[in-house]
């Protein structure tokens, strides 16, 4: 079945550092790809998405590009802020069964 492998955390960065969180997936067909973010004590919310190969999703300074050849959807941000501290989940969606990565906890220190 479909699966997703996400970079293990926790990740600790200083403010204004560059962020990369790796995500690779296995799936049949052409899934849509999502990154969700979970702030402390809350449910998940959509951060960005891409629905076809070479699409770039972006939001709040975060970006991720749908790489079909490497089945990857790595999350990047050029300059993180303290407010970006959260848990990030990669999620390919190929049908009604949306699978999530294990999550990567990011802590940004001032």
Partner 1 sequence: NAGVTQTPKFQVLKTGQSMTLQCAQDMNHEYMSWYRQDPGMGLRLIHYSVGAGITDQGEVPNGYNVSRSTTEDFPLRLLSAAPSQTSVYFCASSYLPGLAHEQYFGPGTRLTVT
- Pick from 22, 32, 58, 85 the residue near partner 1 by CB under 8 A: 32
Number of residues lying near partner 1 (CB under 8 A): 24
7 binds partner 1 per the rule CB under 8 A: no
Q: Token pair 């975060």 is at which residue?
A: 62
Asked if 72 is part of the footprint of partner 1 (rule: CB under 8 A), the reply reads no
Q: Is 46 in the site for partner 1 (CB under 8 A)?
A: yes
Kindly state the tokens that stand for 38. 């979970």
Q: Report the alpha-carbon distance of residue 55 to residue 40 in Å, rounded.
A: 30
Is residue 10 involved in binding partner 1 (CB under 8 A)? no
Using rule CB under 8 A, residue 24 touches partner 1: no
11 forms part of the interface with partner 1 (CB under 8 A): no
Angle formed at CA 100 by CA 13 and CA 24, multiple of 5 degrees: 70
How is the chain split among helix, strand and coil, in percent rounded to 5? 5, 50, 45
Block residue for tokens 């939001």: 59
Q: Which residues of this protein are in contact with partner 1, per CB under 8 A?
A: 6, 31-32, 34, 41-46, 49, 51, 89, 93-103
């Amino acid at each position: 079945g479909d699966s997703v492998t996400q970079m293990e955390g926790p990740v600790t960065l200083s403010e204004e550092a560059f962020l990369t969180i790796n995500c690779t997936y296995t799936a049949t067909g052409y899934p849509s790809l999502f990154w969700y973010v979970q702030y402390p004590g809350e449910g998940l919310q959509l951060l960005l998405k891409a629905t076809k190969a070479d699409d770039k999703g972006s939001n709040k300074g975060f970006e991720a590009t749908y790489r079909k050849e490497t089945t990857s959807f790595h999350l990047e941000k050029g300059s993180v802020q303290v407010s970006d501290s959260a848990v990030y989940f990669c999620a390919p969606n190929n049908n009604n069964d949306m699978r999530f990565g294990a999550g990567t906890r990011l802590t940004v220190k001032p």
